[in-house]
Amino acid sequence: MPQFFLSTTQNIPRLGVDVKGEIYPMRSEDGPKLYRIGELAAMFGVTCRTVRYYEELGLLEAAERQDGGHRKYSERNAIYLKRIQQLKDYGLGLADIRELFELARKDRSGDKVRQKLAEKYREKLADAERRRRALEEYIGDLSWHIEQLERVRDFFQCPGASCGACPYAAKCDVRQLVAGA
């Protein structure tokens, strides 16, 4: 007759849950790795207050209380904290990150959160390209001003008699100001 109970001496694999809610076998037979708040904060170079704040915002799962009321955070929270840092590094604010995390909890397939994140990255990319164009224009202006200053003997010589032959005449706003007067 088959037995339908498990002996306490058998090694039963422990199961964990990843960021998307998928079940996976645990690596350790001692149970999930739990981190004290200071350990978790140190792993990511943030303060304990930051970890608590992320928990208050719902970005991290509520910590288990053990060892006399001390907070213990799961490996899943470590993954969440890493993802928060990555998203912040790409310029997303905590409100955007919270929106993405909530969307990920609702949509287990991950399709909606990937689409939303791609949309946010496209916005960030367009903004970065605008800033790059402005920076390139600024660098160009500085470059011709340096060349111009190295060619004239007196800062107040420009604009002056040499304006007609100046290679920067088209760019010179001082010349345009004097010519307009």
Q: Shortest CA distance to 105 belongs to which of 44, 58, 148, 138? A: 58
Tens-place pLDDT, residues 18-45: 545 555 545 545 567 888 899 999 999 9
- Residue pLDDT, tens place only, 35-72: 889 999 999 999 999 999 999 999 998 767 776 777 88
Domain definitions of the chain by residue range? 15-155
Looking at residue 2, its pLDDT comes to 40
d(CA 144, CA 165): 15
Q: Which tokens is 39 given?
A: 């350990």
> Given the structure tokens 């004239």, which residue do they identify?
152
CA gap 122, 100 in Å, rounded: 15
pLDDT band at 92 (very low <50, low <70, confident <90, very high): very high
pTM equals 0.63
Query: C-alpha distances in angstroms, 26 versus 15, 55, 76?
Result: 5, 24, 12
| Fold (topology level) of 15-155 | Multidrug-efflux Transporter Regulator; Chain: A; Domain 2 (1.10.1660)
* pLDDT score recorded for residue 166: 72
Q: Please report the pLDDT score of residue 34 as a whole number.
A: 85
Q: Look at residue 65 in the predicted model and tell me its pLDDT.
A: 77
- Integer-rounded Cα Rg, in Å, for the chain is 30
Tell me which of 7 and 17 has the higher pLDDT: 17
Each residue's pLDDT tens digit, 119-149: 999 999 999 999 999 999 999 989 988 888 8
